[in-house]
Homo-oligomer: A and B are copies of this chain.
Amino acid sequence: MATIIPLEQPLKRKNAPALDALTALVAEDVAAVNQLIVQRMESRVQMIPRLAGHIIASGGKRLRPVLTLASALLCGYQGQRHRKLAASVEFIHTATLLHDDVVDASDLRRGNPSANALFGNEASVLVGDFLFSRAFELMVEDGSIDVLRVLSHASAVISEGEVLQLITTNDSATSEQAYLEVVRAKTAELFAAACRIGAIVAGRPASEEEALRTFGLNLGIAFQIVDDVLDYSAEQARLGKTVGDDFREGKVTLPVILAIHRGNEAERAFWKRALDESDQRDGDFSHAQDIIHRHNALRDAIDRARHYGAIARDSLGMFPDSPAKQALLNIVDFTIEREF
């Protein structure tokens, strides 16, 4: 296995509790959402809850549904509609993960065998479809056409982003702009929708819905950039997933793009061989990490993430201070400075 080099500027660990704090604020709702998730992945076809349960159980953070719950809290929402919608958001996310693993042919997800490795690609595709349909059934039960509009659009954009990512994979000439468009579509759009729904259920004015959309979108971009950084940096066990996945799959992420732009001919030839031609040899991942380190590409990628984090933070300016607001602001720091 490749050696793991530290980030140029060590990530702070103090912010890991930020997610716990946010989750604690909406603890009752989170418990209800978890129950809904278990109920709604039921099927007379036993393989469905077995496979869905596998990925949902290993799926840890529940960041997206928690964002829906916390956004609703921020908007002063008192009811329970946000629970079904948060479960719906998590189902869409889970369906995406299942299809992603098939597309990436990943054997591991967060350090555990991925669903496709355990149950086969076929079942992962189909159970993804099932969860996706269940997500829409939950929205239909809620009955809001506005929510359905936001989430059906987000879903279409996510698949566009995934296809776009497929096209940029194995293409070391991918621009930072093309990378950002992939990130925005495949990751940030669902964060944006998750947050926006909080304002919709609370019946808040369009300006607040828009503020939460901006918050989610920029938080999502920051989140994905940091995710891509972690794939070149943190210890596999701590990350909970195999470091170097993106490299092995030929994905052209921000650390690589920065390194390529700043590199010399020999380095560009290396990236071309390893990524474009998928010709990877022993020690290549280590070498990639060395090049990235030399160009400060991880540190500067994190700086890019901080830019989006700042936009996210500012977008909450119109909301009065509250524990929910503070927790959402802290989640931005957590996302950028996390080291798991």
Binding site for B on A (CB under 8 A): 43-45, 47-48, 95-96, 99, 102-103, 120-123, 125-130, 132-134, 136-137, 139-140, 143, 145, 148-149, 152-153, 155-156, 158-160, 162-164, 166-167
Contact = CB atoms under 8 A, between A and B. Distances in A.
A103 B132 contact: no
Given A145-B140, A152-B140, A163 B123 contact: yes
Contacts of A155: 129, 132-133, 136
A121 B102 contact: yes
Contact of A159 (B121, B126, B143): B126
A125 B99 contact: yes
A130 B126 CA distance: 15
14 contacts: A44-B160, A45-B163, A45-B167, A102-B121, A122-B166, A123-B166, A125-B125, A127-B163, A129-B132, A129-B158, A133-B155, A133-B156, A133-B158, A137-B156
A146 B149 CA distance: 15
Contact of A148 (B47, B122, B148): B148
A105 to B, nearest CB: 9
Nearest to A40: B156
B152 A133 contact: yes
B126 A162 contact: yes
A324 to B, nearest CB: 29
Contacts of A120: 166
A160 B137 CA distance: 14
A108 B276 CA distance: 29
B130 A103 contact: no
A183 to B, nearest CB: 14
Nearest to A105: B122
A90 to B, nearest CB: 16
Given A126-B166, A130-B159, A140-B148, 16 more contacts: A43-B160, A45-B160, A45-B163, A47-B163, A96-B129, A102-B102, A102-B122, A121-B121, A126-B162, A129-B132, A130-B163, A133-B155, A133-B158, A133-B159, A137-B153, A140-B145
B103 A126 contact: yes
A169 to B, nearest CB: 9
Contacts of A134: 156
Contacts of A122: 102-103, 166
Contacts of A159: 126-127, 129-130, 133
6 residue pairs, one from A and one from B, having the closest CB atoms: A133-B156, A130-B159, A133-B155, A136-B152, A129-B159, A103-B122
